[in-house]
Structure 1
Amino acid sequence: MARDQIDMTPIRSRDELVAWFEAGCKPKSEFRVGTEHEKFPFRIVDHSPVPYAGSRGIRALLDGMKTILGWDPITEGDNIIGLADVTGGGAISLEPGGQFELSGAPVDNVHQTAGELFAHLAQVREVASPLGIGFLGLGMTPLWRRADIPVMPKGRYKIMTSYMPKVGKYGLDMMYRTCTVQTNHDFSSEADMVLKMRVALALQPVATALFANSPFTEGKPNGFVSFRSEIWRDTDNQRAGMLPFMFEDGAGFERYVDYALDVPMYFIKRGDRYIDVSGKSFRDHLEGKLLPGESATISDWANHVSTIFPEVRLKRYIEMRGSDGGPWRRLPSLPAYWVGLIYDDLNLDACWEIVKDWTAAERQKLRDDVPKLGFKAKIRNRTLLDLAAETLRLAEQGLVRRKRFDRNGRDETRYLRVLQESVARGLTPAEELLEKFHGPWNGSIDPIFFEYAY
């Protein structure tokens, strides 16, 4: 989840909210890609969750990372809860159950995002190993019960933990037991944003299947390939989902603002204090009804927009949110896939041709089917496996045309290989895990902490 924003400029009108999104438009020459990934810390000795406090806890891990990186600590009260690179690079933050997140810097190409990832994992290992902490890359913790998981000392999570059970069955599982990898992309204009949002929303189930990696709950198969994706179907449907309005005439920044104004808020932050306004609308805040005598601010809006959780989220860039976390080899594959599809004009148009006639009901059914069926889910008699193969071919062509080379002269297509291998086998990562569970692992989940640790 994003860091809380600090910009106390008052907002006077809806038009200023529209302008806030519009300010994200940038020329194609300035397009960047940013990758965020979460991972589960675990105690190497017994595979249990890592508490915040203590000489071998999350706090000690963050203190060690601060020393290595020289990044500024992000604190809440007396607690360090993250780190920020003040030179405009990345940030490290904590998810509610201690999931450790790297929010990568916006960079020019996938080689750079891969390099940033590998440097981060090396740095984390250097600090974590002496503390007896390992990290697991999966979409959902395969072993722990919700009651086992420590709660990180962040005010926003306290409010969300109280609110979530009121609006869905799985909100606390989402907060405490899941991990994702997501990738962030730019747009050049309102029309470009709308086209990218439409293509990304329609094809997000393909990415869900390609990265499906959460088939276990509390040590046993749960009947899904992406239980993380299933969790989002009943977390809070007022703030999640497939945004059907983005496919309607008149879709644009104004329409997204109107949607966001009516998504229930969680909190308003003033100084270090989180004010619980859960269930209230930003529309009322804008009219001065939530904090009498106080204006809504840019910070309030940025924080609110970051607590909306559709499959693809609009900020001043576009966030792809449909994929499970996974082992390190797969993480650069997600930005490579989406960069190849939506930063190439030929491919963006080709993808729109594929999806433009799908109805809202068909898109929704595909999204609803993918957590259980993975590549076997269908739309109009086409399997997701077939769509994955076609879109990977397009992505490869788009990355070839981009001509972004590493120092060894290789282009970005190399990062697609692990996805192409999955498609060639016709198996999601989850199905490969299940093969191991029922085969060489003899029904035990323990080997996952060795084979899938970072």
Structure 2
Amino acid sequence: MPDAETNHDTYVRNHGELLSVLMGGERFGTHGDGRRTVGIRLERFVYNRRAHHTVGYEGEGGVRELLEHLRQFFGGQGAQVVDGCLVGFSGRVQVSSGERVDLDVSVGAGAQLACSVGPSAHVASLLEAIEAFDREVHVAAGELGRDYTLLAEGYNPTVSGPLDVSLVPETRYALMNAFLSQTGRYARDAMRCSCATEVTLDYGDEADAADSYRLAVALTPLTMFLTDNTRSFRGSDARHTPRMTRSLVWEEVDPKRCGVVPGTFDGRFTFETYVSWLEGLEPILFTDSLGTTTSTGSQTVGDVLRSRALSGSEIVRLYDMALPDVRLRGYIELRQADSMRPRYAAAYAAFLKGIFYSDESFSAARELVGRVSESDVERAKTALRLSGWNASVYGRPAADLVEKLLRISRAGLSDPKERRILDELATLWDVRMVPADAFTAADVPPLSIREYLGI
């Protein structure tokens, strides 16, 4: 058995590696030319138009079959096979500008199909990549004889509860389901029935990362509200579905690993602050470099760091088990927007890019929001859920705050194409609507495969 000194040395080494993941983000962009880049991860349900229900993972016509068929369209590399199940692959999409955009496809616990695109300096390229993926989904479904489409909503509107949805047969999901079901009342809902739009942003040095992270967290109540796209919760109709339902579900998963990271608004917030918080969490499971997943029981991340020298991939996976509103992992990951149609998802990414990637706009947004605390953020969430556009957020009327942030974001976007993309959502917000309000009968069921492709 290793002695205390060996455990300490192992911990120091692994702690440094864990910290270096965040330090690795100390650059603008990934192209070596100083450009800041954006990434989008868009989760959606696979919807059977004939059965009027979402599609599970296993069996004939399941998401697994669709995933196998999709790989051929993208030169699928790096197939992710876990517990004998294909759960993802990587590829590339060439867009009209000639840029080749990285694409990662994966499957969630409830067979949600996730498409991650980027990073790219151009939101238009990300949108084109998502739309190319969507076209191939429709083609693949047609070739399989299935009338499937992708349904973008924050919560599965076709089920009466999470037990209507089978888990993808992966060890990690079984372990997470068992653990989280004891920590919060809506863990099963979050895993099986929710879909998100996530946007990733670069940062500069550690001080810039801290400033950007704090602003991202402060804006979270507003972004939750402005991207609300949940019309049904456990079978309820739109009239009886509360605002920002998906974020409520995630807040009831595990208070220790969700919500706002303690110390975020402390003037001394650093990478070490985030890593120290992470090390105090129970990771639930650990996946080693061979892809074998085991339960960690009551161990914390800190305990895992003391166990043995970990590989780079093992270190990175430890970040996955933290589920705050905004996550750090070498970039800033804003996690609390509902799943939306691709043009809305791209508009949301453009909105954030305009605020965070212009020095003038970033400073203006920080000044507008002002100094806030963790309790201020929670009060803002509650106010928006109760009063919507009539809420007071950080001492300002929500509608006025959104109007000013839109103006700030537009000023920060130098590309006219990105300003036009932003308008997809801005035109809703200008008339005091959010995506859930814009729902029309054309969304579900969406266009047929032939109509979608224009043939």
TM-score band w.r.t. shorter chain: 0.7 to 0.9
Q: Provide the aligned C-alpha RMSD in A.
A: 2.2
- 2:242 is aligned with 1:224: yes
- 2:212 is aligned with 1:212: no
CA deviation map 1:286-337 (0-9, x unaligned): 222xxxxx33443333112122111111010000112101123211011101
1:130-145 paired onto structure 2 within 5 Å: 130-144=145-159, 145=161
Q: 1:85 to 1:301 in 2, by over 3 A?
A: same
Partner Cα distance (1:307, 1:370) in 2: 28
Partner Cα distance (1:246, 1:342) in 2: 18
Q: 1:216 to 1:373 in 2, by over 3 A?
A: farther
2:305 maps to 286
Partner Cα distance (1:397, 1:188) in 2: 21
1:74 maps to 80
Amino acid at match of 2:279: L
Q: How many residues align?
A: 422
Partner Cα distance (1:187, 1:232) in 2: 26
Structure 1 residue 170, shift from structure 2 partner = 0.8
1:341 maps to 355
Structure 1 residue 151, shift from structure 2 partner = 1.6
Q: Is the 8 A contact 1:337 1:392 kept in 2?
A: yes
1:81-92 paired onto structure 2 within 5 Å: 81-85=87-91, 89-92=102-105
2:317 maps to 303
1:444 maps to none
Q: 1:418 to 1:27 in 2, by over 3 A?
A: closer
CA deviation map 1:60-88 (0-9, x unaligned): 10111012222122112332111112898
Q: 1:302 to 1:125 in 2, by over 3 A?
A: same
- 2:364 is aligned with 1:350: yes
2:61 maps to 56
Partner Cα distance (2:101, 2:419) in 1: 27
Q: Is the 8 A contact 2:101 2:120 kept in 1?
A: no
Q: 1:373 to 1:263 in 2, by over 3 A?
A: farther
Structure 1 residue 373, shift from structure 2 partner = 3.8
Amino acid at match of 1:24: G
Q: Given the alignment, which residue of 13, 20, 40 partners 1:35? A: 40
Q: 1:371 to 1:40 in 2, by over 3 A?
A: farther
Instruction: Report sequence identity in percent.
Output: 24
CA deviation map 1:21-68 (0-9, x unaligned): 111111461321110000011221111231223331111101110122
Amino acid at match of 1:237: P
Q: 1:214 to 1:448 in 2, by over 3 A?
A: same
Aligned residue for 2:54, secondary structure, equals coil
Structure 1 residue 121, shift from structure 2 partner = 0.9
For structure 1, the residue ranges without an aligned partner over 5 or more in a row are 1-8, 289-293, 405-409, 442-446
- 2:119 is aligned with 1:119: no
Partner Cα distance (1:399, 1:132) in 2: 39
Aligned residue for 2:89, secondary structure, equals strand
Partner Cα distance (2:360, 2:297) in 1: 43
Q: 1:116 to 1:300 in 2, by over 3 A?
A: same
Aligned residue for 2:264, secondary structure, equals helix
- 2:345 is aligned with 1:331: yes
Amino acid at match of 1:18: L
Aligned residue for 1:90, secondary structure, equals strand
Aligned residue for 1:323, secondary structure, equals strand
Q: 1:127 to 1:425 in 2, by over 3 A?
A: same
- 2:120 is aligned with 1:107: yes
Partner Cα distance (1:139, 1:361) in 2: 25
Q: Given the alignment, which residue of 88, 107, 110 partners 1:94? A: 107
Partner Cα distance (1:302, 1:118) in 2: 29
Q: Given the alignment, which residue of 425, 434, 440 partners 1:428? A: 434
Partner Cα distance (2:101, 2:127) in 1: 18
Partner Cα distance (2:284, 2:118) in 1: 27
Partner Cα distance (1:359, 1:202) in 2: 8
Q: 1:181 to 1:146 in 2, by over 3 A?
A: same
Q: 1:50 to 1:237 in 2, by over 3 A?
A: same
- 2:421 is aligned with 1:415: yes
Q: 1:125 to 1:254 in 2, by over 3 A?
A: same
CA deviation map 1:90-109 (0-9, x unaligned): 21000011100001121111
Structure 1 residue 124, shift from structure 2 partner = 1.1
Q: Given the alignment, which residue of 170, 182, 206 partners 1:166? A: 182
- 2:275 is aligned with 1:257: yes
Aligned residue for 2:87, secondary structure, equals strand
Q: Is the 8 A contact 2:83 2:169 kept in 1?
A: no
Q: Given the alignment, which residue of 186, 202, 213 partners 1:186? A: 202
Aligned residue for 2:263, secondary structure, equals helix
Structure 1 residue 367, shift from structure 2 partner = 2.3
Structure 1 residue 372, shift from structure 2 partner = 4.7
- 2:173 is aligned with 1:157: yes
Q: Is the 8 A contact 1:10 1:297 kept in 2?
A: no
Aligned residue for 1:131, secondary structure, equals coil
Q: Which moved more, 1:420-429 or 1:315-324?
A: 420-429
Q: Is the 8 A contact 1:10 1:296 kept in 2?
A: no
1:5 maps to none
Q: 1:88 to 1:45 in 2, by over 3 A?
A: closer
1:3 maps to none
Relative to the length of structure 1, the TM-score reads: 0.87
Structure 1 residue 233, shift from structure 2 partner = 1.8
Amino acid at match of 1:286: L
Q: Is the 8 A contact 2:223 2:337 kept in 1?
A: yes
Aligned residue for 2:172, secondary structure, equals helix
- 2:282 is aligned with 1:276: no
Partner Cα distance (1:373, 1:414) in 2: 29
Partner Cα distance (1:60, 1:232) in 2: 29
Partner Cα distance (1:89, 1:11) in 2: 34
- 2:264 is aligned with 1:246: yes
Q: Is the 8 A contact 1:50 1:150 kept in 2?
A: no
Partner Cα distance (1:208, 1:452) in 2: 28
Partner Cα distance (2:11, 2:72) in 1: 37
Relative to the length of structure 2, the TM-score reads: 0.87
Partner Cα distance (2:299, 2:232) in 1: 36
Structure 1 residue 359, shift from structure 2 partner = 3.1
Q: 1:452 to 1:341 in 2, by over 3 A?
A: farther
